[in-house]
Structure 1
Amino acid sequence: MNTTVTEIADGIYRFSTLTDAIPGGFTFNQFLVKGDEPLLFHTGLKSTFESVCEAVRTVVPIETLRWVSFGHWEADESGALNGWLAAAPHSELAIGVFGTMLSGNDQATRPPRSLTDGEVLDLGGKRVRWIDTPHVPHGWDAGLLFEETTATLLCGDLFTQTGDAAITEGDIAGPAAALEDMMHSTALTPRTAPTLHRLAELRPSALALMHGPSFHGDGAAALHTLAADYQSRLERERESAEHR
Structure 2
Amino acid sequence: MEHTGPATTVDEIADGIYRISTPVPPQDMPGGFSFNQYLVVDDRPLLYHTGPRKLFGQIRAAIERVMPVSRLAYIGFSHVESDECGTLNDFLELAPDAVPLCGQIAAMVSINDIATRPARAMADGEVISLGTHRIRWLATPHVPHGWECSMAFEETTRTLLCGDLFTQPGDANPPLTEGDILEASEAFRLQMDYYAHSPDTGMHLQRLADLHPATLACMHGSAWRGDGAALLERLSQRLAQRPVQR
- Scaled to the shorter chain, the TM-score interval is over 0.9
- Which residue of structure 1 lines up, in the alignment, with residue 155 of structure 2? 148
Give the 5 Å matches for 1:207-218. Answer: 207-218=216-227
Letter in 1 for 2:218: L
2:137: which partner in 1? 130
For residue 22 of structure 1, report the CA deviation from its aligned partner. 4.5
For structure 2, list consecutive stretches of 5 or more residues without a partner in the other structure: none
Q: Does 1:224 find its partner at 2:233?
A: yes
1:191 is displaced (CA, Å) by 1.0
User: Contact 1:172–1:222 (CA<8 Å) still a contact in 2?
Assistant: no
Q: Counterpart of 1:98?
A: 105
1:199 — aligned with what? 208
The counterpart of 1:11, out of the listed 12, 16, 28, is: 16
Is the contact between residue 26 and residue 212 of structure 1 (CA under 8 Å) also seen in structure 2?
yes
- What corresponds to 1:54 in structure 2? 61
Tell me how far apart the structure 1 counterparts of residues 184 and 112 of structure 2 sit (CA, whole Å). 36
Structure 1 position 68, deviation (Å)? 0.4
Instruction: Tell me the equivalent position of 2:125.
Output: 118
Q: Among residues 42, 51, 61, which one is paired with 2:49 in the alignment?
A: 42
Offset of residue 25 of structure 1 = 2.0
Question: Which of 66, 74, 83 is 2:73 aligned to?
Answer: 66
Normalising by structure 1, we get a TM-score of: 0.95
Q: Which amino acid aligns with 2:197?
A: L
**Greater mean deviation of Cα atoms: 18-27 or 109-118:** 18-27
Match for 1:114: what amino acid?
Answer: A
**Percent of paired sites with the same residue:** 49
Cα deviation per residue 1:156-210 (whole Å; 9 max; x = unaligned)? 0000111322111011111111001101111112111221111000000000000
Distance 1:85 1:185 in 2: 29
Counterpart of 2:12 in structure 1: which amino acid?
E
Partner amino acid for 1:161? Q
Q: Using the alignment, how far apart are the partners of 1:229 and 1:212 within structure 2?
A: 20
CA distance in 1, matches of 2:30, 2:234: 25
Match of 1:77 in 2: 84
Higher helix share: 1
Moved over 6 A (4+): none
**Counterparts of 2:29 and 2:200, CA distance in 1:** 29
**Cα RMSD over matched residues?**
1.0
- Partner of 2:241, secondary structure, is helix
Per-residue CA deviations over 1:110-169 (Å, capped at 9, x if unaligned) read 011110001111000111111000000000000001000000000000001113221110
Distance (whole Å) between structure 1 residues aligned to residue 210 and residue 32 of structure 2: 32
* TM-score, with length taken from structure 2: 0.94
Q: Amino acid of the residue matched to residue 221 of structure 1?
A: A
Unaligned segments of structure 1, at least 5 residues: none
SS of 1:185's partner is coil
How many residue pairs get matched?
237
SS, match of residue 141 in structure 1: coil
Q: Which segment is superposed worse, 25-34 or 13-22?
A: 13-22
Partner residue, 2:197 = 188
